[in-house]
Amino acid sequence: MNTTFDQAALEQLVQPTRINKQVYINPEIFELEMDRIWGQAWIFIGHESQVRKTGDYFTTNINHKVPVVMVRDKNGKVQVLHNRCAHKGAKIVTSRSGNAPGAFRCPYHGWTFSHDGNLLKIPNESGYENTGFDLNDSCNNLQPVAQDNYKGFIFATLSSQAPDLKTWLGGTTDCFDNLCDRAPEGEVEVAGGVLRYEHDCNWKFILENLNDTMHPMVVHQSVVQSAQAYISSLDTDDIKQKAEAQIILPFGASFENFEESGITGFRYGHHYDGGKTSIHADYSVMPEYHQAMIDRYGAQRTQEIYAFNTHNTLLYPSLTIKCAVQNIRVIRPVAVDKFIVETWSFRLKGAPDEMLQRTLLYSRLINSSASMVGPDDLEVYRRMQEGLASNASQWVEMHRQYGRDQQLKDRVRGGGTSDLDVRTQYQAWRYYMLGEDYA
Ligand code: FES
Ligand SMILES: [Fe+2]
């Protein structure tokens, strides 16, 4: 695309300890990010349990523009197809999810396509005879998007140059493994619907806030105080209400607690905080569930699974995972100052239903638009979007613990209150936006 930001100008925007405000507010930068970051990275599409039967589909976008449909074909394979008719370009599927029995039929001229994208039939086909049109030419199919999955989590990429998915995921595969290991049957499935929440600010704010552990005790102070006051007002036998309100308390954890949990960064902008401990360290054990885990894995392995306790994992730029809580958030940019986040919850196969109920409660209490925690974050994102319009300064800074990050073979480690998470993301930003490779 034509842009006023040439390579030299882009290089100046992201420096080791500061980011130019244009990265958050400039529509041209946003379009470049959609093309170069969202057009090159692996983007999370969905979980295979969202399309169980032949013809089940789920629609989404790769970035703000490119519509795709994930569908289970007749051979049981999950396909990711461009949601764009080969005839004149109409979007074939507009529902968010459903089942297309037999085939997809375009609503405009009725071309039909199999679930693996092949063109099956054209109405009044004789009009194409002797025109050079070839029904069997693959360009007349719904075009596939390169896709792969790790443990049922399906990613797709618009790039033909992307590394294979497992290489791209790097050490974050530990988080997918741990999420599945927390199920007595070793698998998870989407359950309980989706919470969809529009944010009127730049898409990167939520990613940079995810493991910003200097904010919870400030931004969420009032809700933690309210939860504490509510718990104090309860009778001793109000066990259920107390347990629910206690979900909010860890958001008031101290700087020391967060520092101890540490942050681990990887190539391509991925990272997690926690590992040995996190603010979710106490969420795992419910007696019936614990017994099911012991029966499946034995006591030692069960403890190892619980002990890998991360708070938030980011798969830059489109997915965040909470292993110990069993929910994910999926990010989709809409415009420079708008994005959508969806929270999906998972059932641990083989676990008692109360585990899913707690996950759903967590999602409602913390991540929904009607929660008491998520809207705190949105309020500060909005204030940043408004504040950054000012020319008082051109910069947003990320100095915390700079120079102290510990570079290991395939990862970098730092203190839990460091800006390592943001530095990791902007290393990826330079990789995708500038073509700057890792050392
Ligand atoms: S645009 Fe799809 S059949 Fe014509
Ligand atoms: Fe927050």
> Tell me, what's the pLDDT at 276?
74
Predicted confidence (pLDDT) at residue 438 exceeds the cutoff of 90? no
Answer whether residue 72 is part of any domain. Answer: yes
Answer whether residue 347 is part of any domain. Answer: yes
Q: Averaged over 412-439, what is the pLDDT? A: 96
> In 10 A of CB 391, how many CB atoms?
7
Return the ligand number nearest the Cα of 311: 2
- 232 plus 142 within the same structural domain: no
Residue 85 sits in a domain of what CATH number?
2.102.10.10
Return the ligand number nearest the Cα of 223: 2
- 197 plus 274 within the same structural domain: yes
- 65 plus 212 within the same structural domain: no
Q: Averaged over 300-309, what is the pLDDT? A: 93
Asked if residues 62 and 68 have their Cβ atoms less than 8 Å apart, the reply is yes
Share of the chain above pLDDT 70, in %: 98
Q: Whose CA is nearest to atom 4 of ligand 1?
A: 109
Does the Cβ of 88 fall within 6 Å of ligand 1? yes
pLDDT per residue as tens digits for the range 177-191:
999 999 999 999 999
Q: Averaged over 119-126, what is the pLDDT? A: 96
Return the ligand number nearest the Cα of 374: 2
Predicted confidence (pLDDT) at residue 90 exceeds the cutoff of 90? yes
Predicted confidence (pLDDT) at residue 284 exceeds the cutoff of 60? no
Angle at 255 between CA 303 and CA 279, to 5 degrees: 30
- 118 plus 184 within the same structural domain: no
pLDDT per residue as tens digits for the range 262-276:
999 999 999 999 877
**Distance from the CA of 102 to the center of ligand 1, in angstroms?**
18
Per-chain mean pLDDT for the chain? 95
Spatial CA neighbour of 343 closest among 331, 360, 332, 329: 329
Mean pLDDT check: name the lowest of 80-89, 234-243, 337-346, 357-366: 234-243
> Tell me, what's the pLDDT at 283?
61
Answer whether residue 439 is part of any domain. Answer: no
Range of the domain at 176: 166-434
- 210 plus 251 within the same structural domain: yes
Answer whether residue 50 is part of any domain. Answer: yes
Residue 275 CA to residue 414 CA, distance in Å, equals 12
> Tell me, what's the pLDDT at 1?
61
- Distances from the Cα of 385 to the Cαs of 5, 23, 218, 390, in angstroms? 21, 11, 19, 10
Answer whether residue 145 is part of any domain. Answer: yes
- 228 plus 372 within the same structural domain: yes
Predicted confidence (pLDDT) at residue 24 exceeds the cutoff of 60? yes
- 281 plus 391 within the same structural domain: yes
Q: How many domains does the chain have?
A: 2
- 343 plus 317 within the same structural domain: yes
Does the Cβ of 113 fall within 6 Å of ligand 1? no
Predicted confidence (pLDDT) at residue 439 exceeds the cutoff of 90? no
Mean pLDDT check: name the lowest of 87-91, 230-234, 334-338: 230-234
Answer whether residue 9 is part of any domain. Answer: no
Answer whether residue 26 is part of any domain. Answer: no
Does the Cβ of 85 fall within 6 Å of ligand 1? yes
